[in-house]
Structure 1
Amino acid sequence: MLSIPYDSLTLAAVVHALQPLQGGRVQHIAQPAEHDILLTVYVRGVGEVYWLISCSPQWARTYLLSHRLPNPPQPPPFCMALRKYLQGGTILTIAQRRFDRILDVEVKGHEGHTYLLSVELMGRHSNIILIAPDERILHAAKMVSSRISRVREVLPGKPYTPPPAEERPDPRAVSEEQFLTRFQQDNPQDPAEWLRTCFEGISGFLAGEIVARAQRLDNGMSDVTLWRAFRSVFEAANRGEWEPVLVRDEEHRPVGAYPIPLACLPEEQQHPRSNIHVALENYYAVAIPRAEMEQQKRTLQGILQRVLQARRSALQQLEQGVQERTKAEQYRRWGETLLAFLSQVPRGAEKVTLPDLYGTDESTLTIPLDPTLSPQQNAERYFARARHVEQNAERLEAMRHRLQTEEMLVQDALRRLESVRELSELTALREEMAARGWFNPTAGVSGEATPRPQGEFEGKRIRVHIAPGGWQVLVGENAEANDYLVTRVAQPNDWWLHVRAGTGAHVVIRTNNNPQAVPRQVIEFAAQLAAANSPQRHSSIVPVDVTLRKYVRRPRGAQPGFVTYTHEKTLHVSPQEG
């Protein structure tokens, strides 16, 4: 399906349809969106009409609406300027500047001065500019400084200069002789491109339409048939004989509106409308919400992809920890061998070679020893290690099962997102994502650091993360921030976390004085952040201590960030980026 633009021909049709507003009174001005203004104009014999003017980068357009838009309670500065100079005034003229995408509206203010509202519908460079009688800029929807554009400043007090443009003939005023002479001189290989570059305001779409009309007139393209097609468009425009159509795709969805019937599209996809305002309103009322929904879908898809990647990465790291279960058997075997041959183990040795209890008659085991421990203590140390590895492996196995389940849920959400067609479906999926902790409306992806409000934490470098369920997790970025977090921010019943026997960030979970309400999932999330913000961040499994803030103290005279603590429990987690 061809993309149908809001081009100079569409603007010409709209300007023709706006002529009855000349002499009308501007009763009210609102700015319902950042780039949109709505003029309520009283027209004698008609009543109130609602005139939308938008300089949106994606949807620059102007036409009459069938209804009033909601009026924000606090008008932006541009809206206030328009009200000051134009509200209560009379519209004198509404005109297109040559055949460009620029609309000039002259309004005689209530104090008698005449102001110009220049509407430039030029994609991302679109703007709405209010110009004083002395041709100086009073205000604009988008301010453009010399840092943004060296060619043209748009700032209050600056002289108004039109957008830079190449002088080309207005197609509505071109004669047959001029057209044919130019065509024969240029002898173009691509007639559509020739039309677009030779004449003012002819969009690529309109150029293609003229060529399609010429091909209908004659099987072979010639200069005469191209002229006849060209004339059929612009003579009708000069006479104001518009036949607007709403274009629908094969699924009957509106995909565009144009002021004339189109030869470049199937007739069954074109639906006549009574005027250009109705055609445009029918299209944009569907197209803009649909585009916004597609943008939301892409955003949620990106979030789900990042969540999926995070879960897969965590699973990879967990796999390494689960596989360490095999070491438990080795540790137990070493412990039993040491107990069986205690008398053969010399004190202070760093290793010993002993007969293998479970091997062949001649096989031996070389066992590493801690020289500071007795043979009996070395054996007990290996039994303790075996128990620890087994317990840790069981816990990691449970975590792996949970992550695998979550991975499947994320994949299912991605599949459902692909098939979403209605905003209600998207909203439901978004809420489900938030409930599962994958997405927070104020924080984005679960766990993603949120910007610190200006002045919060007195400028100390403390990051705020949102854990699943909306719990706040604070992470100190340096020693000073760690000290401030522990001594000034954390409350006695907040959870405090730090890597065991090492340096790293202090992490605090805000509990609202109810530490038992914090789910284990949130504590593990915070522990992963503590591991990630420590020198052990590249390890597969990192021990992290967790205790309540009231059991953490900074010794007198200690360096910032140095603390002692009691009542801790140790978690073994894989680091998470944070």
Structure 2
Amino acid sequence: MAKESLTNFDVTALTRELRDAILGFHIANIYQIDSATLLLKLRRPRQPPKTLLIEAGRRMHLTAYKREKPPKPPAFCMALRKHLRRGRIIDVQQHDFDRIVSIHVEGQAGRFQLVSELFGDGNIILVDMEGRILQALRYRRMSHRNIIRGEVFKYPPSSPVNPLTLTIENLEEIREYGDLEVVRGLVRHLGISGLYAEEILLRAEVDKKKPCQEITDEELQRIHMQTCGLASAIRVGSLEPRIVVDGEEWVDVVPVKLQVYANLKSITFESFNQALDEYFTKLEAKRITSTEAKGEEEEKKRLERVLEEQREALEEFRRKAEDARKIGDKIYTHLGELSQILHEIRQMRTEGLEWTDVEERLKQEAPLAVLSISPAESSVEVDLDGLRAKLDFRLTAQENASKYYEEAKKWERKAQGAEKAMKKTLEELEKVESRIESAKAQKPKLERAERRKRAWYEQFRWFQSSEGILVVAGKDAKSNVRLARRRMEPSDIVLHAEIAGAPLVLVKNGEKAGEKTIREAAQFAASHSRAWKMGLNAIDVYWVRPEQVKLSAPSGQYLPKGALMIHGKRNYIRGVSLRLAFGILRKNGEEIELLWGPAETIKEKTPIYVAYCPGNTPARVLAEQIKKRLMQVAPSELRKKISQIPPEEFRRRIPYGTGRIVSS
């Protein structure tokens, strides 16, 4: 049976590697991709970004694979973001020898611990600097501890003996288990898995089935030496990570080479994190495929039930149509007799006969068998060559025949509708069966995230103009200077809004830019200036040549830190509106690209866009509104893709944290 979760030894190896891999990284964002799994996006200057996956009760490791993020983060995820985002990871620790990992994070609001319990049902708990529980994935009350918000966090009871600090005296206590097999005794005494208990005994050359009470001193010494040796090798990072393969099946992932797997093949990896990622991602993909296949099988059964119900309804409609048409035909076959019966009923009632007398006389004298009369329904039931026909005695025989023919047509129309519905159900059933066959033939996999090198301008604000020219803006005073000092070239055009607190904007290769690009860059400059915070609708923007921009003041003058000095003529663009926009560009069928920039640019690139301007709506709310509006204006086949865009992609591009949607 394939391994489903980490062991104590795995967690020791993992913690050692993670400490080297992610200390000093900042938590850029947190995503909760299902009820038990978090993704922590980690960044550090001049290093590739990393993603840490934590699945409560099962695993933790860095991952190189992409996973679909929910459109709206759950409350637990939002709480973690509030406390941990932008925090720096300062330590990663395993609690004792348990399957518990604590990530220590230092942020503006203080220090926190993110405690991941990787055993049983699992849990992820956020603890503050005073040791109290701020948030938990799962709240519960237990006999030995409570996971309740505001209470002091307590670890679950550990095994009384820690293999990392094992002494020979500790190990001697195993004899107290009496005639219990030594392999089981080690599992109980050290709190380790059966696999590692077997490995230790194999290395110590001790029969795993030997009773604990019969273990000799020499055997005890060997068991102690092998336990300490294995634990020490893993603790100091002397690893040989590998996935164990039995035939074509991956059955285990281990941090070191194990003798218990001597007869099986293995795939080696540079790091244990990489091995864990490959192993558990394959397991995850298989689980996803299995869940999808199960869903398809259930859908197939549902459609088969629907099809059977439709088939029964069709047969019923056809039978009723046939019966009604037969009765209509029989009425014409016995037109004279029926006309006489209907006439006599009306005549006798005119003469004042009671209904009982009318019915009695008809049964005795009528040319056809009269079965009954219903005054309440104004009907008479007759036998037409074995067919029971109910006729309205207020109508003529021909009118009754027409009534039955109309009824036959009604049931025939229903039958046609049922046939169409059956055809549609059969088509859906064929598609489901095809998907089931494809799922069986398809090897489960998740897509690996591409680690592309970021372009230099991605550290600033930027967009491509409608003429395809790169426009870059600083984010603050410090980045304004960095942009001017390192990236400004003689061929550029420099823009700045006529207000204190505005970004430096470069139109790269501006000599080739048309008036359209310059106006778009001006709108970008205006929208990111303090004018947005002030709620202004428009502002003047000017542009100059790079040689007019000075990074230092003339002798005897003072230039504030982060400020620039402009010399010479300024070319003004008056009354530039403050407008930004998000747009959706269709790529390869149903794939999409999220566009962002000045409203003038986005309108040129796509008809699917939403513009926004200064306003009082908080960025968090506005981000959801923009996303919802994009889904409304987009074609139906793109809406699911848009719904999967994280709200953070919108929120972080709203200047000064407020705004409002521009009415169309």
What interval of TM-score do these two structures reach, taking the shorter chain for normalisation? Answer: 0.5 to 0.7
- Amino acid aligned to 1:170: N
CA distance in 2, matches of 1:118, 1:143: 12
- Amino acid aligned to 1:77: A
Please tell me whether residue 257 in structure 1 is matched to residue 233 in structure 2: no
Aligned residue for 1:210? Answer: 197
- Amino acid aligned to 1:153: I
Aligned residue for 1:317? Answer: 313
1:311-460 alignment, distance < 5 Å: 311-328=307-324, 329-330=326-327, 332-334=329-331, 336-337=333-334, 339-340=336-337, 342-343=339-340, 346-347=344-345, 348=349, 349=358, 352-353=362-363, 365-369=369-373, 372=378, 377=395, 379-421=397-439, 422=442
Q: Which runs of 5+ in 2 are unaligned?
A: 350-357, 380-391, 447-588, 590-635, 638-664
Aligned residue for 2:18? Answer: 18
2:116 to 114, 119, 139: 119
Residues 1:344 and 1:243: Cα distance change in structure 2 (over 3 Å): closer
TM-score w.r.t. the length of structure 2 is 0.50
Deviation, structure 1 residue 79: 1.6
Deviation, structure 1 residue 321: 2.7
Residues 1:263 and 1:70: Cα distance change in structure 2 (over 3 Å): same
Residues 1:184 and 1:135: Cα distance change in structure 2 (over 3 Å): closer
Deviation, structure 1 residue 339: 2.4
Deviation, structure 1 residue 144: 2.7
CA distance in 1, matches of 2:257, 2:173: 28
Residues 1:413 and 1:354: Cα distance change in structure 2 (over 3 Å): farther
Please tell me whether residue 199 in structure 1 is matched to residue 190 in structure 2: yes
Residues 1:185 and 1:73: Cα distance change in structure 2 (over 3 Å): closer
- Amino acid aligned to 2:334: T
- Amino acid aligned to 2:115: S
CA contact (8 A) 2:132 2:152 kept: yes
CA distance in 1, matches of 2:112, 2:303: 54
- Amino acid aligned to 1:168: P
Deviation, structure 1 residue 32: 3.1
- Amino acid aligned to 1:207: G
Please tell me whether residue 50 in structure 1 is matched to residue 50 in structure 2: yes
Residues 1:299 and 1:341: Cα distance change in structure 2 (over 3 Å): closer
CA distance in 2, matches of 1:265, 1:382: 87
* 1:215-263 C-alpha deviation (Å, 9 max, x unpaired): 79577732558996786455222233332212346446x5652223355
Secondary structure of 1:16's partner?
A: helix
Residues 1:122 and 1:211: Cα distance change in structure 2 (over 3 Å): closer
Residues 1:319 and 1:269: Cα distance change in structure 2 (over 3 Å): farther
Aligned residue for 1:142? Answer: 137
CA contact (8 A) 1:96 1:102 kept: yes
CA contact (8 A) 1:26 1:41 kept: yes
CA contact (8 A) 2:26 2:42 kept: yes
Please tell me whether residue 243 in structure 1 is matched to residue 240 in structure 2: yes
CA contact (8 A) 1:245 1:273 kept: yes
CA contact (8 A) 1:338 1:375 kept: no
Aligned residue for 1:38? Answer: 40
CA distance in 1, matches of 2:66, 2:427: 43
CA distance in 2, matches of 1:305, 1:149: 44
Secondary structure of 1:339's partner?
A: helix
Deviation, structure 1 residue 337: 2.8
Aligned residue for 2:605? Answer: none
Query: What is the RMSD of the two structures over their aligned residues, measured on CA atoms?
Result: 4.5
- Amino acid aligned to 1:295: T
CA contact (8 A) 1:301 1:417 kept: no
Residues 1:73 and 1:178: Cα distance change in structure 2 (over 3 Å): closer
Aligned residue for 2:7? Answer: 7
Deviation, structure 1 residue 12: 0.6
Please tell me whether residue 283 in structure 1 is matched to residue 290 in structure 2: no
Aligned residue for 1:453? Answer: none
Aligned length in residues: 402
Larger Rg: 2
Residues 1:340 and 1:141: Cα distance change in structure 2 (over 3 Å): same
* 1:138-180 C-alpha deviation (Å, 9 max, x unpaired): x33526377x99951342xx24322432653223334456445
Deviation, structure 1 residue 130: 3.3
CA distance in 2, matches of 1:397, 1:107: 68
CA contact (8 A) 1:102 1:121 kept: yes
Deviation, structure 1 residue 423: 9.2
CA distance in 1, matches of 2:176, 2:443: 54
- Amino acid aligned to 1:25: G
2:146 to 152, 155, 158: 152
- Amino acid aligned to 1:199: L
Deviation, structure 1 residue 97: 0.9
Residues 1:73 and 1:376: Cα distance change in structure 2 (over 3 Å): closer
- Amino acid aligned to 2:165: A
2:81 to 74, 79, 82: 79
- Amino acid aligned to 2:102: D
CA distance in 2, matches of 1:78, 1:340: 88
* 1:396-422 C-alpha deviation (Å, 9 max, x unpaired): 443444344345434433432333345
Secondary structure of 2:438's partner?
A: coil
Deviation, structure 1 residue 65: 4.2
1:463-502 alignment, distance < 5 Å: none
CA contact (8 A) 1:57 1:126 kept: yes
CA distance in 2, matches of 1:269, 1:226: 31
Residues 1:248 and 1:319: Cα distance change in structure 2 (over 3 Å): farther
Deviation, structure 1 residue 387: 1.1
* 1:399-457 C-alpha deviation (Å, 9 max, x unpaired): 4443443454344334323333459999xxxx9xxxxxxxxxxxxxxxxxxxxxxxxxx
1:63 to 61, 64, 70: 61
- Amino acid aligned to 1:129: L
Secondary structure of 1:76's partner?
A: helix
CA contact (8 A) 1:213 1:264 kept: no
Aligned residue for 1:551? Answer: none
Secondary structure of 1:419's partner?
A: helix
TM-score w.r.t. the length of structure 1 is 0.57
- Amino acid aligned to 2:283: A
CA distance in 2, matches of 1:425, 1:101: 27
CA contact (8 A) 2:300 2:433 kept: no
* 1:543-572 C-alpha deviation (Å, 9 max, x unpaired): xxxxxxxxxxxxxxxxxxxxxxxxxxxxxx
Please tell me whether residue 221 in structure 1 is matched to residue 209 in structure 2: yes
2:92 to 84, 94, 108: 94
Secondary structure of 2:395's partner?
A: helix
2:298 to 302, 320, 329: 302
* 1:43-77 C-alpha deviation (Å, 9 max, x unpaired): 9xx955636151x346x433334589999999833
